[in-house]
Each structure stands twice: as structure tokens, then as C-alpha cells.
């Protein structure tokens, strides 16, 4: 079977750019030194780490390179930010976050509520995934230690108004953290002029390697290190630096920064064509998320009356990689918490398919999806008891539910 | 990506008997709202012989749900209704060469659709009593609802007993913390309802989890929670090895099976249930559950428990098959 592979699951992970791989390789071999060492082996590596930090600083628009702390990835950064906020502000024990955050935030909050008695406010969203700003305002108080809202949602691509949200937190004297794992490298970020105190990012979402990420900590923010150990990263993240990863992330950030302006409209055009054409060719389908504030690379389309995993299996056979908010792909038996939070009916939530682009996608990729998708949907609907002929079989099928 | 067998893939990509059966006279419609699966099973039953002449399905669900539905239709065509009713979800999974534990509920949905379709044909009302929750033990496919029921009905208060009753946590043991959570929550509710005393309740964090990993316990069986239950240490090879190795005639074998069934009946009767030995065919033991056992959510566990005891006593690969009517 030789189908042309089409990778449209870039919000899950991206291909490491060959230039990134090439830059990393020497740090596994001759440049193996520990940057903390006094000798020449270490000194050279230390210089390269500094350059990588500056490249990431440029991509984020951060004022200082020492505001960047390298970590193992988005999850570590998220955990470190929340834990530090509680430890550094003993008089404030409340966290405000949203119902559509990544599990790295939601699970960490749940744990902190259980182990440290933190009170967690979960702010809801509307049908387009937009935050309930009024509920957020009401939740803010002089007890709020930290607010954590994602910059962009991984499933729908919905972008939060981070400046406004961060401003409200500052007014209440609370720290503001954002999980920007899906935003960094996809949309412009200017931390000099955004009142964000902490920001999480991950290397492998922007054509960098896995196992490397960073936490931005604004200068002057009180920060307590989560990992105890050596003095690395100015005492904010113990453990010998993952130097090949850091070098790789630096190069990935540099490439993303250089190409961002030209990539964004090109990727958005591909995404828009796929979305429009699919909706034209397939009925009973709709886009989830906020169409007016969305990542340029992401579309999440809910196909009604069929189930996501079945769609993915058939897409996979046609060489196409995408992902789904359906229950069955996760083994959790429930549709994604993001779809549920937006109030998407379960017959549609289970059939939500996410296509996420990168700068490596082409017009041919879109063509290939358009070619097979209508047949896949039609075929599965033919199998569906909720469907008959050309439309939903409303009311006729009423199974006994467990 | 799920680790689907070739047979599952085959029945998903090229499903047999998919679509609408216009002359169906037995229709079963079931679904699991949490999982988003729904299945409509359509059968054409010959009224004279009660033989299933044709079967078709429509399924809203994942790859394994579609494959399970298709497998079900293949399994029932040509069988009489009584024969078809003996099928279990395990038969569907076996037909497909196995399903990932997270996907076993797909085969359960097939089993339920068949029950519903036969009830529909016979003009009966079919009520689903299957509960689902988050899958806790992936090795044995035990979900939260099943754990809660087992804990409540049997008044379980230790991790060990939960494993004995449900097998959950008995293999890789990575879910012990999750089981502890369910146990602690269930016990808390049971204390509030006065089902168990507060001092008996399990409280998470009060036992060393590392100490819970199964050790050989030939000398000492764990204390049973209620006097009618003798734990079966299915993990203990020593107990199995020590059991007598009888060479039985057919008569002796059936007599022994009868004796074992008689032994378990008092325990069932105490809970308002009962069982009856219907037939023995080779190593297959047909058992009819009666009284409160019918529609009991734990009937699968009861059957498994009887089977374990039969295997232990006879040293034979006995399989207990629950049947509805004595003889057929």
C-alpha cells in the first residue's frame, strides 16, 4: 500500500526541522561538556546555551534573556508555575483557571487542591469556547494567587484575549500565567508589552525536539523552584541542562521567528480552503471554536451522527493523519472536556475531527483530504443508526441508554 | 493507535451485514451515552423454528464498535433464539481475536443489543442494568461502576478484598492508587448511609501501597469481610498446586460439580438469589441463575466466582455458561 502520507496533526507534535537536527548533533558528540564546568569543554557549550536563550527571547519578545528558564516541556512548565505561585504567595491560596485547559493545568490544579488546600475556580466558556469574562472578574480577589488561562486552545485553536485577561489579574494583585504551548511559533507574541508573569512553551510543537520546553518568568516575579538540586537556570530549575534539546529549541525558535509573518497567512489560507470545501461537500458538519479568534493552523470540524475514531481509521488508511475529540481515541469513554464545555451535543462531539497544519503542509495535502473525506463520512453515516438516506433519522432511533 | 487485531480491522473496514434489514421482526436498540456508542440490531426470525435467518446492524461508534456489531450478526445468523441468547460478550470478543480492555464495552453493547432484540421479538420489555464508568484496571477491564457495585454489595473495605472480588489491580498493579480512591469514596458513602461502621472504612494513605503487592500467602488467607465468603486466592500458585489432582470418571466429575454448586447455593440464597445446574457438556457447565441473581449487576461476577471454585476443586478447565431456561 503506497499512499502519500499527509500529516495534519501538528498540534499533537511536529516533525523536527532538519536544520534543528543538524544543529543538535554535535552536542551529543564532541560538544558533550557540562555547561556548568570550569574547563573548555563546558565553556563552549555554555556559550551555545546562551545563544539559544537569546533566540527564544526574540521569538517571545521578552525584555531579558534570563527571564527564560529551560524545562523538560509544557507539562513541567505548567506545574512549576502553579506550584511556585502558591509557595511564593502564602497569603493567597486560590487559583483561577478555565474548564478547557490542558490536563497539565487541570490535573495539577486538582492535585494542589487536594494536597495544599488550594481553592480552584474553573471559568466556563460559551458555545464558541470563549471565556466567561464576567465570571472571571467575580472570581478574582485578594485571595487569588495565580490566574492561568491558555493562550490558544489545542483542540479548537480558539485564542484567548491574553492582554485583557492578564490586565485584570494584575489589577487584583494576582500572578498571571499562560499555557502558550499551542501559540508560540504560530502567532506573534510580544511579552515586553503583555502583562503576563509566566508563560509555558514546548519545543516539539514548533518543529523542535521533544523533552525540551521553557517557562518564561518575568523579571521581578517571585519564583520558587519546583525541582530541588543544583544551581542551574539561576537556581530556578535544578538538573544538568539538556544541552542538545536547548540548542534544538533555540534553532527551532529562530526559524519560527524568521518565518512567522510569511507562514501565518499561507497556513491560514490552506486551512480555510480545507474548511470551506469540506463544509461545502459534507452536510451536517460545523466548525467548533471561535471563528473570529483562532490559530491560523487549526480547524476542528464536528461531523454529526458518526464517531471520530472510525473517521480517523479510514483517514489513516488513506494516508492522512488527524486527531479527534472523540472518547474512543483516548480510552476515557467520554468525549473531550473541551467539546463538553462548549455544550456540543454528544452525537457531534464524538465526531469532531481536528486538522492542524504546519509550515510543511501543501496544497496537495488539502486536495488529498478533500478527495477522500466526503466518501468516508458518507460511508460511516450509512452505518449509523442516527442517519437514514440523506439526513438524520430524527426521533426514529431511540436506544435504551445505559 | 489501538492495538486492533487483523480480524477487528477486517470487520471494521469491510463490515459484513451492515445496513437496514427491512423485513426485520426483532429489533434491539441500545447505547451508552457516556461512550457515545449506539447500536441497532435487526433480526429476521422464522416464527416456526425461532431460527435467526438474517441479521443486519447499524452502529454509531468507533472501529471496534462497528467490528463487534458485525461480528455479532455473523455469530447469530443460523442460530435459534435460545442458542443465540447463550452468546456472551466474550464470544464476540473471541470471534474478533480479542479487543483492547478499553474496548470491551463494545462487545458488551453487542450482547445487550441481542438481548434487547430477542426481548423485542418476544414482546418483553428489556431494561439495561449495565453501568459504565472510567476504566480503572486495564488488565482485567474493570471500570469504576463495577468496582463501586462490588464494594457496596459485598461491603469491601480493603484493597486486597477488592482485588479478590473483581481481579482489579491483580496484574500490573499500576491502578492500585485509583482503586484506593474508589474504595475510599465508596466506603465514605457507605459509612454515611450506615452500611458499614466508620472504623471499618478504608481511608486512602493509611496502608503502605508497596505492601499491597501480592505475596504468597499459603499459610494465611486474608480475613473475609462476611462469613459467607471464602476468598479464592486465584493468584496463589501454591494453593493451586496443593489441591488434589483427581482422575475422575464422567459420573464422578458431574457429581463433584453438583457438590460444588450445592456448596455455593447457601451464599447466593442469603442474598435472595439461587442457581441451578442445568447441564454438563464436557467441561462446559450450564448454570441457571434464579431469584435475585437474575438481572443482578453482579451476576457476571457470581458466574466467574462459581467457575473459579469449580476449576479449583475439579482441576479441570471448567467454563460456566449462564443459561436462561433449564434444558432446550
Residue A360 predicted with pLDDT over 90: yes
Decide if pLDDT at B328 tops 60.
no
* Neighboring chain B residues of A333 at a CB cutoff of 8 Å: 32, 34-35, 102, 105, 132-135
Same fold: B6-121 with B250-323:
no
Q: Which CATH code fits B6-121? A: 3.90.1010.10
pLDDT digits 0-9 by tens, A361-380? 999 999 999 999 999 999 99
List the one residue out of B28, B86, B119 whose CA is nearest residue B325: B86
Domain ranges of chain B: 6-121, 135-222, 250-323
* Cα–Cα distance for residue pair B122/B166, rounded to 1 Å: 34
Inter-residue contact B328 to B82 (CB < 8 Å): yes
> Looking up cell 447505547, which residue turns up?
B31
Let me know the angle formed at the C-alpha of A64 by A228 and A82, rounded to the nearest 5 degrees: 40
Fold of the domain spanning B250-323: GMP Synthetase; Chain A, domain 3 (3.30.300)
Q: Which residues from chain B sit within 8 angstroms of residue A397, using beta carbons?
A: 29, 38, 40
**Mean per-residue pLDDT for A110-114?**
95
pLDDT reported for residue B285 = 85
pLDDT higher than 50, residue B231? no
Per DSSP bridges, beta strands A144-148 and A175-179 are parallel
Q: Distance (Å) from the C-alpha of residue A30 to the closest C-alpha of chain B?
A: 38
A350 at interface of B, judged by CB pairs closer than 8 A: yes
**What are the backbone dihedrals phi and psi of residue B228, each rounded to the nearest 5 degrees, phi first?**
-90, 5
Percent of chain A's residues with pLDDT above 90: 86
Q: Which residues are A288's β-sheet partners?
A: A300
State the DSSP code for A281: H
Q: What whole-number distance in Å separates Cα of residue A164 and Cα of residue A194?
A: 9
Spatial distance between the Cα atoms of A252 and A203, rounded to a whole number of angstroms: 8
Mean pLDDT of A318-322: 96
Across the beta sheet with A285-288, the strand order is: A285-288, A298-303, A352-356, A323-324
pLDDT in tens, B76-127: 999 999 999 999 888 999 999 998 877 877 888 888 899 999 999 998 877 7
Which chain B residue's Cα is nearest to A308? B62
Q: Given an 8 Å threshold on Cβ–Cβ distance, is A310 in contact with B15?
A: no
Q: Which domains does chain A have, with CATH numbers?
A: 6-12+261-389 (3.90.1150.10), 18-256 (3.40.640.10)
Lookup: cell for B99: 479487543
Which of A304, A307, A316, A347 would you mutate first to test chain B, the one with the most B CBs within 10 A? A307
Mutate to test the interface with B, among A110, A315, A328 (most CBs of B within 10 A): A328
For the question of residue B35 being annotated catalytic, the response is yes
How close is the nearest chain B Cα to the Cα of A333, in Å? 4
Q: Give the pLDDT confidence of A250-262 residue by residue, as tens digits.
A: 999 999 999 999 9
More confident residue, B276 or A21: A21
- The contacts of residue A290 (CB under 8 Å, 6+ apart) are A128, A129, A130, A156, A158, A159
Instruction: Give the distance from residue B13's alpha carbon to the nearest chain A alpha carbon, in angstroms.
Output: 8
Distance in angstroms between the alpha carbons of the first and the last residue of chain A: 40
Residue B313 vs residue B85, higher pLDDT = B85
Residue B32 binned pLDDT confidence (cut-offs 50, 70, 90): low
Helix (H) or strand (E) run with residue A169 in it: helix A162-171
Residue from B2, B8, B40, B60 to probe the interface with A (highest A Cβ count within 10 Å): B60
Cell of B86: 447463550
3-state secondary structure of B59: strand
Q: What is the mean pLDDT of residues A322-338?
A: 71
Q: Do A400 and B31 touch (CB under 8 A)?
A: yes
Separation of alpha carbons A295 and A150, rounded Å: 13
**C-beta separation of A139 from A170 below 8 A:** no
Closest partner residue to A384 among B58, B103, B105, by Cβ? B58
Contact B40 A398 (CB under 8 A): no
Return the residue of B nearest to A306 by Cα: B60
Distance CA A339, CA A348 (A): 9
Q: Are B35 and B132 in contact (CB under 8 A)?
A: yes
**Beta bridge pairs of residue A123:** A98
Q: Do A402 and B19 touch (CB under 8 A)?
A: no
| Among the listed residues B122, B85, B112, B124, the one whose alpha carbon sits nearest the alpha carbon of residue B31 | B112
Complex ipTM more than 0.85, yes or no: no
Query: Is A384 an 8 Å CB contact of chain B?
Result: yes
**Contact residues, chain B, for A309 at CB < 8 Å:** 62-63
Residue B263 has a pLDDT of 81
- Beta carbons of A333 and B128 less than 8 Å apart: no
Amino acid at each position: 500500500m503506497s499512499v502519500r502520507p499527509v500529516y495534519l496533526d501538528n498540534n499533537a507534535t511536529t516533525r523536527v526541522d532538519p536544520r534543528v537536527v543538524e544543529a543538535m548533533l554535535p552536542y551529543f558528540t564532541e560538544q558533550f561538556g557540562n555547561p556548568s564546568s570550569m574547563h573548555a569543554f563546558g565553556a563552549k557549550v555554555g556559550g551555545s546555551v546562551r545563544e539559544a536563550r537569546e533566540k527564544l527571547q526574540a521569538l517571545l519578545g521578552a525584555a531579558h534573556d534570563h527571564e527564560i528558564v529551560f524545562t523538560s516541556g509544557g507539562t513541567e512548565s505548567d506545574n512549576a508555575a502553579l506550584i511556585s505561585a502558591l509557595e511564593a504567595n502564602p497569603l493567597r491560596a486560590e487559583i483561577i483557571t478555565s474548564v478547557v485547559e490542558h490536563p497539565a493545568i487541570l490535573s495539577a490544579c486538582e492535585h494542589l487542591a487536594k494536597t495544599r488546600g488550594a481553592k480552584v475556580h474553573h471559568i466556563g466558556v460559551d458555545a464558541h469556547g470563549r471565556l466567561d469574562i464576567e465570571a472571571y472578574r467575580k472570581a478574582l480577589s485578594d485571595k487569588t494567587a495565580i490566574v492561568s488561562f491558555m493562550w490558544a486552545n489545542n483542540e479548537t485553536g480558539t485564542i484567548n484575549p491574553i492582554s485583557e485577561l492578564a490586565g485584570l489579574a494584575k489589577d487584583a494583585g494576582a500572578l498571571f500565567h499562560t499555557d502558550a504551548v499551542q501559540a508560540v511559533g504560530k502567532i506573534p507574541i510580544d511579552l515586553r508589552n503583555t502583562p503576563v508573569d509566566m508563560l509555558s512553551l514546548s519545543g516539539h510543537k514548533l518543529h523542535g525536539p521533544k523533552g525540551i520546553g521553557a517557562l518564561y518568568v518575568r523579571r521581578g516575579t517571585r519564583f520558587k523552584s519546583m525541582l530541588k538540586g543544583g544551581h542551574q537556570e539561576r537556581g530556578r530549575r535544578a538538573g544538568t541542562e539538556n544541552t542538545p534539546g536547548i540548542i534544538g529549541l533555540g534553532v527551532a525558535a529562530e526559524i519560527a521567528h524568521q518565518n512567522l509573518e510569511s507562514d501565518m497567512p499561507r497556513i491560514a489560507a490552506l486551512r480555510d480552503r480545507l474548511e470551506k470545501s469540506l463544509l461545502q461537500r459534507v452536510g451536517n458538519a460545523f466548525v467548533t471554536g471561535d471563528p473570529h479568534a483562532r490559530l491560523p493552523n487549526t480547524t476542528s470540524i464536528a461531523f454529526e451522527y458518526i464517531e471520530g475514531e472510525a473517521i480517523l481509521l479510514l483517514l489513516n488508511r488513506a494516508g492522512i493523519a488527524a486527531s479527534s475529540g472523540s472518547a474512543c481515541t483516548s480510552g476515557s469513554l467520554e468525549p473531550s472536556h473541551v467539546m463538553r464545555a462548549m455544550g456540543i451535543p454528544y452525537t457531534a462531539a464524538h465526531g469532531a475531527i481536528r486538522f492542524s497544519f504546519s509550515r510543511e503542509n501543501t496544497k496537495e495535502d488539502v486536495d488529498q483530504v478533500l478527495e477522500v473525506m466526503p466518501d468516508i463520512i458518507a460511508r460511516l453515516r450509512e452505518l449509523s443508526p442516527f442517519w437514514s438516506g440523506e439526513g438524520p433519522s430524527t426521533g426514529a432511533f431511540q436506544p435504551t441508554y445505559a | 493507535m489501538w492495538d486492533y487485531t487483523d480480524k477487528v480491522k477486517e470487520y471494521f473496514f469491510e463490515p459484513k451485514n451492515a445496513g437496514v434489514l427491512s423485513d426485520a421482526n426483532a429489533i434491539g436498540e441500545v447505547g451508552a451515552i457516556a461512550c457515545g456508542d449506539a447500536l441497532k440490531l435487526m433480526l429476521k426470525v422464522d416464527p416456526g423454528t425461532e431460527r435467526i435467518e438474517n441479521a443486519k446492524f447499524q452502529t454509531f461508534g468507533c472501529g471496534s464498535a462497528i467490528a463487534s456489531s458485525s461480528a455479532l450478526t455473523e455469530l447469530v445468523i443460523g442460530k435459534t433464539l435460545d442458542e443465540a441468547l447463550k452468546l456472551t460478550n466474550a464470544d464476540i470478543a473471541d470471534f474478533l481475536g480479542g479487543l483492547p480492555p478499553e474496548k470491551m464495552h463494545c462487545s458488551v453493547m453487542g450482547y445487550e443489543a441481542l438481548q434487547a432484540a430477542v426481548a423485542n421479538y418476544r414482546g418483553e420489555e428489556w431494561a439495561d442494568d449495565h453501568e459504565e464508568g472510567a476504566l480503572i484496571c486495564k488488565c482485567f477491564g474493570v471500570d469504576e461502576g463495577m468496582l463501586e457495585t462490588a464494594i457496596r454489595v459485598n461491603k469491601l473495605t480493603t484493597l486486597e478484598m477488592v482485588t479478590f472480588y473483581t481481579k482489579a489491580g491483580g496484574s500490573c498493579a499500576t491502578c492500585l492508587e485509583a482503586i484506593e480512591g474508589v474504595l475510599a469514596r465508596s466506603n465514605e458513602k457507605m459509612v454515611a448511609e450506615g452500611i458499614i461502621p466508620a472504623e471499618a472504612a478504608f481511608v486512602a494513605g493509611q496502608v503502605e501501597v508497596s505492601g499491597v503487592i501480592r505475596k504468597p500467602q499459603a499459610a494465611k488467607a486474608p480475613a473475609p469481610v462476611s462469613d459467607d465468603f471464602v476468598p479464592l486466592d486465584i493468584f496463589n500458585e501454591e494453593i493451586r498446586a496443593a489441591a488434589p489432582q483427581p482422575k475422575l470418571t464422567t459420573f464422578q466429575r458431574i457429581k463433584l460439580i453438583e457438590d460444588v454448586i450445592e456448596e455455593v447455593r447457601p451464599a447466593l440464597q442469603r442474598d435472595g438469589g439461587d442457581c441451578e445446574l442445568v447441564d454438563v457438556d464436557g467441561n462446559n457447565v450450564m448454570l441457571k441463575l434464579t431469584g435475585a441473581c437474575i438481572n443482578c449487576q453482579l451476576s457476571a461476577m457470581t458466574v466467574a466466582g462459581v467457575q473459579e471454585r469449580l476449576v479449583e476443586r475439579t482441576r479441570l478447565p471448567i467454563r460456566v455458561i449462564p443459561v436462561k431456561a433449564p434444558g432446550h
